[in-house]
Amino acid sequence: MATINLSPPQITFSCRCLSSSSSSRNAPTLSFYSHFSPSHSSLSVSLKHRNNTIKHRCLITASALKNLSETELVPVPVVPEEVSGKLPSDSGVYAIFDKNDELQFIGISRNIAASLSAHLKSVPELCCSVKVGVVSDPDRAALTQAWKSWMEEHIKATGKVPPGNEPGNATWIRQPSKKKPDLRLTPGHHVQLTVPLEELIDKLVKENKVVAFIKGSRSAPLCGFSQRVIGILESEGVDYESIDVLDEEYNFGLRETLKKYSNWPTFPQIFVNGELVGGCDILTSMYEKGELAGLFKK
Amino acid sequence: MGSRGASVLLSRASRIKTKLQSTLEASIIEVEDVSHQHAGHAAVKGTQGETHFNVKIVSPKFQGQSLVKRHRMVYDALAEELQSGLHALSIIAKTPEEAAPK
């Protein structure tokens, strides 16, 4: 089963009622993962749950949230791209059910639609329907409280922790190391090319929708501008090819040839539908204006 | 319009400024050498700096041009610099209307 991890947490929670690892009865360590857009950082929090000491605090925001059992079960669209249209992009808590209507995971997110879209891409077989609880005034405390209240309700009703929230279960988090490998233009420097490099480049950008020529690899960019570009492409969730222009073994001569081909003197260079969109500046500007999603759909 | 010898004595930043000002009729031009921010960069090692610049330029010539075209205009104006060690440019290219405060 594919597992995905979000990038390291930027916000850390301090956990109340956290004791040392003594095992008291019915004290599972619960965890949840959040999806923050656009940087996709994650929170992971462990709460020691003690049945006999949980106090229900009456927060105004929490009381606005419906109970898990009262919340409507909504089918998840089969196509991830439809999620943002059908489900809210707000902050809140969500509960995912599989095709047997079994609760698999309760999570919190700053962008529920984005989180669901990501889950749908990685574990589609587990995402059949969902309950969504939007939290108004979603500060950290309110989100955590909402999550806790749903979690407790479920545990009280079923006596179990959802499988995805079990400690050590990484089904619902994204691993950055699972990125696609970079493309190589040639089989190696020692191999004679039968076709000019320009033609290989031309073929590449025309056969692949989104192509990014970067310095370094997508998992380890070697330049700040390239890194920013990768960050944006990953955040948009678009399928793209990456080519390392510094790779002298498999992409020998690429830098000079590409500069001539695109009539563009710097890297990174991003092509969409065979056309140069620009470098980091242009991509960033389009991303901030929200123009990228439309561009990638064409 | 100085002789080639004289222009080499000026810093790259001032050369960039002059070239952009004349070629693109810039009303506002700001050039900042940020090479030190990229000191760890593989391509910067062994150079004397003057490799990475931020450029902000406001010019009526950008009217009706896409971002890609605008950046190309800037690059074309600086072709000589790009061949002699200029490595990267962060470009902000606006028309006078776009740059005007709201």
| CB–CB contact B90 A281 (8 Å) | yes
Reported as a pLDDT band with limits 50, 70 and 90, residue B5 is low
User: Is residue A81 in some structural domain?
Assistant: yes
Domain containing residue B60: CATH number? 3.30.300.90
pLDDT higher than 80, residue B90:
yes
Model pLDDT, residue A7: 27
User: Is residue B56 in some structural domain?
Assistant: yes
A71-77: which pairs have CB atoms within 8 A and are 24 or more residues apart? Answer: A71/A95, A71/A131, A71/A132, A71/A133, A72/A131, A73/A97, A73/A101, A73/A129, A73/A130, A73/A131, A74/A129, A74/A130, A74/A131, A74/A132, A75/A128, A75/A129, A76/A116, A76/A120, A76/A127, A76/A128, A76/A129, A76/A130, A77/A120
- Are A98 and A231 in a shared domain? no
- Are A73 and A161 in a shared domain? yes
Residue of B nearest to A216 (CA): B42
CB A146 within 8 A of CB A62: yes
Model pLDDT, residue A189: 87
Question: The domain containing residue B88 runs over which residues?
Answer: 25-42+49-102
Last residue in a domain, options A165, A188, A214: A165
Cβ contacts of B83 within 8 Å, gap of 6 or more? none
Model pLDDT, residue A279: 95
For the ranges A27-31, A241-245, B48-52, B93-97, which has the lowest average pLDDT?
A27-31
- ipTM higher than the 0.90 cut: no
Which site among B56, B69, B81, B90 would you substitute to test the A interface, given the most A Cβ atoms closer than 10 Å to its Cβ?
A: B90
User: Is residue B64 in some structural domain?
Assistant: yes
- Are A10 and A137 in a shared domain? yes
Model pLDDT, residue A14: 25
Model pLDDT, residue A89: 77
- Are A149 and A207 in a shared domain? no
Of residues A161 and A122, the one with the higher pLDDT is: A161
Element (H, E) at A60: helix A60-64
Q: Does B90 touch chain A (CB under 8 A)?
A: yes
Which site among A244, A246, A282, A286 would you substitute to test the B interface, given the most B Cβ atoms closer than 10 Å to its Cβ?
A: A282
CB A142 within 8 A of CB A62: yes
Neighbours of A287 (CB within 10 A): 20
Domain containing residue A221: CATH number? 3.40.30.10
Mean pLDDT across chain A, nearest whole number? 78
Q: By C-alpha distance, which of B82, B64, B85 is closest to B93?
A: B64
Q: Is A96 exposed, middle or buried (0-12, 13-18, 19+ CB in 10 A)?
A: buried
Number of domains in chain B: 1
Reported as a pLDDT band with limits 50, 70 and 90, residue A121 is confident
Residue of A nearest to B51 (CA): A266
Region of B85 (left: φ > 0; alpha: ψ -120 to 50; beta: rest) is left
- Are A27 and A121 in a shared domain? yes
Question: The domain containing residue A281 runs over which residues?
Answer: 197-297
Q: pLDDT, tens digit, for every residue of A245-295?
A: 999 999 999 999 999 999 999 999 999 999 999 999 999 888 878 888 889
Model pLDDT, residue B44: 60
Q: pLDDT, tens digit, for every residue of A205-244?
A: 999 999 999 999 998 888 889 988 988 888 788 999 999 9
Q: Give A246 to chain B, closest Cα distance, Å.
A: 10
CB A280 within 8 A of CB A229: yes
Model pLDDT, residue B102: 65
pLDDT higher than 70, residue B40:
no
Reported as a pLDDT band with limits 50, 70 and 90, residue B14 is very high
SS3 A96: strand
Number of domains in chain A: 2
Measured at the alpha carbon of residue A233, what is the angle toward residues A228 and A133, in degrees to the nearest 5? 110
pLDDT higher than 50, residue A44:
no
Of residues B43 and A263, the one with the higher pLDDT is: A263
Q: Give B76 to chain A, closest Cα distance, Å.
A: 9
- A281 contacts on B by Cβ (under 8 Å): 67, 71, 90-92
